[in-house]
Amino acid sequence: MIVQRVEKHILKPSNKHYTMLDYFCFLSKNLYNHANYILRQEFTGSGKAVPYGDLDKLLKADTEYPDYREMPAAQSAQQVLRLLEKNWKSFFVSIKDWAGNKEKYTGQPKLPKYKKKDGRNILILTNQNVKLRDGILRFPKKFEGFELKLKCCAKNNFQAFNQIRFIPKQGYILAEVVYRISIDEVKPDNQRYCSIDIGIGNLAAVTTNVGDRTYIINGRGLKSVN
């Protein structure tokens, strides 16, 4: 069975590429807000959404506000639009549910918000732009030699690199490397279950559905040591 996993790296301001990556996240915010403005204007005017393909073409051809073309890679720009598309789809689901079940809500769902003017947004690059060679992620020329050495490649069950997400945080950038590994197939369901409820005073309460004794593990001693 093939599953996805994430390897995380923390990039601090002391990293020589931090300013560049932070700027790319700033460009991502600009594009997100530009695209969101178009979607909001269309929705408030006609009540309709702009399809992803039309939005992509519109922003790609925009010469007055070249936010799309200023992104470090076309794939990165498209990933921003995909994320915004997900936010709008969630809004449409919520507004439809609100129309028929107003008692479930404290108010009408609001349109997806803009990012702060001086804020940042996630930057995503896929394996179409970033290449994995000898355990090192190698980025396009615009990244000025930035590389990232991965630990996951050393795993015996490593399969492939998918994408990397640069997530701006307070005082650092979190780089999440998404990759694929192979794992053993899940065992067939034999209808024998064990439930473990983790706690503090009681470290764990354990029970099964096959008649075994239910028991509680006292956690007070461990708690006092801690």
Q: Largest alpha-carbon pair distance within the chain?
A: 72
Tens place of pLDDT per residue across the chain (226 aa): 899 999 999 999 999 999 999 999 999 999 999 999 999 999 999 988 899 999 999 999 999 999 999 999 999 999 999 999 999 999 999 999 999 988 988 999 999 999 999 999 999 999 999 999 999 999 999 999 999 999 999 999 999 999 999 999 999 999 999 999 999 888 889 999 999 999 988 999 999 999 888 999 999 998 888 8
**pTM for the predicted model, two decimal places:** 0.81
Looking up tokens 């915004």 gives 84
* 8 Å CB contact between 126 and 163: yes
Distances (CA, A) of 113 to 29, 32, 45, 59, 117: 12, 10, 17, 19, 12
Distances (CA, A) of 93 to 35, 98, 106: 20, 9, 16
